[in-house]
Structure 1
Amino acid sequence: MVTYQPLSELPIRQVSELWNHAFEGYIVNASMPLDRFIARIVNDGLCLERSLACYVDGVPAGIVVNSYREEDGMLIARNGGTAIAPEFRGQGIGKKMMEKNAELYIEQGVRRAYLEAISTNEPAISLYESVGYEIIDRLLIMTNEQAIDLQPTQETLSRYTRVRGMAAEAASVAFYRSGEVWQTDVTGIKDGECVIVLEGEEQVGYGLFKRVFDAKGRLTAITLLRCEAAPGHPDAVAVLKAAIQEIIQSGYTCKRSAFNIRASHKELVDVLKEYGFTSSMEQVLMVHEYSAT
């Protein structure tokens, strides 16, 4: 018999152990110690009350964790992780769990749900498609660990002003939209920063990123999360470059990455490739639309 229990009803250590066991042998190592798991709950805005543990005859068999947010008066969900314990795989438990999660979404009034899956994980993608999800884009994870020397041209310096701030400030940009890539929205970025690009007094672009420092305050990593030019800007590529040149901090030797960049944002992908970034992993972005009740 398959049964379910909200994760909020379990001790947090038990939830963490279930997560780690369910993800054993996964394509990428998703296991983590308890303190990191707790941090992930906070950073990803996971809602344990509306996430599920799955049991088969009383034995823990799977887990699905969800996040929720309001957008334009509509409740949106994100499946932040679904996995089945190794001894229960191949028995149809994943589909039953996804169908139960869909019931939970409908009960909560969710109108749209997102998830990401590694593009090579064909069984998972097929499972999600079988319960109504559709692929709407590919998400690229790109890296560059080389020293970069990208000094802005005099034209860039004279034409654009770049103002740095905290990530949340990007939401004030007139053309900022929450978008569909959950983890690269300002609401999901903890300790992030932004660069806003101005042409005169007009906001024409922005970038969202995070930096990591070691115990001695040395810069060790920069992650670009999002970069956009104003819709219809006649020189969008120049705007993107102005933002990225400010973000990647030329001259430092550190790990640089770009996380979940939409493949459909070709101008940005081409700029990153020009600057030496290469794709290290790819995910698919999937969505499920639910009718209003």
Structure 2
Amino acid sequence: MREIKRMSSCPLSDVIEAWNSGFKGYFTDMTMSVDRFLQRMVQEGLSAEDSIVAYMDGVPAGIVLNGFRTVDGKTISYNGGTGVAPEFRRTGIGKQMMESAIEIYKQKEVDTATLEAINENTAAIKLYESLGYEITDRVDFLQQDGSLQPHFEDFELPYEYDFEHTTPEKVSKLSFYQKKSPWQTQWQSVANGEAVIVSHEGKQVGYALYRRSLKPDGNAAVIVLHQLGGDVDFHNPHNLVDSLLYKVLEPKRSCKRLIINLSTETKPQYETVMNRGFSTMISQVCMEKVMKEPIESNAKSIEKV
């Protein structure tokens, strides 16, 4: 018998089993411990009450994680992971879970549903497209290990830049903050992390959102860059991005550096990063499903009728 339950009503052991078996043999290792899973739920603002676990004859067979945020008065949902255990794949359970998730979105009056899918996962992308999702962007997960200094051999920070270390939430108030960037790159997903705003001649022109894990000696072990942004009218965008990278990523030290879900369409950021020693780990598509048509669109439809 097949059964779909809200995650909050399931034993935690079943939830972890559903996640780890659901992503068994995936394109990248998604295995999580209980602590890591709970940490991710909190860090990314995912909802246990609105996520679902599928059972097949009492066995945890699949999972869909869901989160919700309000952006400019609109409710945005995020699918934080859809997995089906190998023995239950190609049985239709994935589609049934997604249909259940979409019903939850409707109940919560979601305006736009979002998710990401790995490029090579063509079966999942086709499933999402069959449910009304469309590809809106392509993003890369990038990494660099060791010292960045060789890639900044002749670089010096411009004296006319001023850097302010601040909170991620303050960055979200900038007029050029990227509100529609992927869920994990938004300020809420790095709320307890760090942020830098750069100014030029007294005007704020760029920012970075990032998180650091430290070694016992206080030096960085891992630096995760969540978002790079800049004023589109700034006259020297590549130099601006270079300066933010240099300021945030500690190029003279050896550590692991990750940049998550960087859009290949944000040319100053993407091109500059790729010229500074980073390589692509994973490429994904961003997908959206419009749940509620904008009022303007509805008005135009009425006019046509």
Aligning the two structures, in what range does the TM-score lie when normalised by the shorter sequence? over 0.9
User: Structure 1 runs of 4+ off > 6 angstroms?
Assistant: none
> Partner residue of 1:92?
92
Question: Greater CA deviation, 225-234 or 199-208?
Answer: 225-234
> Partner residue of 1:162?
163
Question: Greater CA deviation, 171-180 or 76-85?
Answer: 171-180
Report the residue type matching 1:113 in the other structure.
A
CA drift at 1:17: 1.9
Report the residue type matching 1:253 in the other structure.
S
Answer whether contact 1:152 1:245 (CA < 8 A) is retained: no
Answer whether contact 1:114 1:180 (CA < 8 A) is retained: no
Alpha-carbon distance between aligned partners in 1 of 2:61 and 2:25, rounded to the nearest angstrom: 15
Alpha-carbon distance between aligned partners in 2 of 1:205 and 1:289, rounded to the nearest angstrom: 30
Question: Are 2:233 and 1:229 aligned?
Answer: no
- TM-score under structure 1 length normalisation: 0.93
Question: Are 2:98 and 1:103 aligned?
Answer: no
SS of the residue 1:254 aligns to: strand
- TM-score under structure 2 length normalisation: 0.90
Task: Within 5 Å, give how 1:1-293 maps onto structure 2.
Answer: 1-149=1-149, 150=152, 156-291=157-292
Report the residue type matching 1:76 in the other structure.
I
Answer whether contact 2:161 2:198 (CA < 8 A) is retained: yes
Distance 1:217 1:158, change over 3 A: closer
Deviations 1:232-277 (A, max 9, x none): 2222222212211111112101112211100111211111121111
Deviations 1:150-174 (A, max 9, x none): 37856x5322112222322212323
Question: Greater CA deviation, 220-229 or 145-154?
Answer: 145-154
Question: Greater CA deviation, 17-26 or 72-81?
Answer: 17-26
Aligned residues: percent identity?
35
Report the residue type matching 1:214 in the other structure.
K
Answer whether contact 2:224 2:259 (CA < 8 A) is retained: yes
Answer whether contact 2:176 2:229 (CA < 8 A) is retained: no
SS of the residue 1:53 aligns to: strand
Question: Greater CA deviation, 221-230 or 51-60?
Answer: 51-60
SS of the residue 1:207 aligns to: strand
Alpha-carbon distance between aligned partners in 2 of 1:118 and 1:147, rounded to the nearest angstrom: 29
CA drift at 1:58: 4.1
Q: CA RMSD in A?
A: 1.9
SS of the residue 2:46 aligns to: coil
CA drift at 1:27: 1.8
Deviations 1:135-163 (A, max 9, x none): 11111111121312237856x53221122
- For structure 2, list consecutive stretches of 5 or more residues without a partner in the other structure: 295-305
Report the residue type matching 2:208 in the other structure.
G
> Partner residue of 2:303?
none
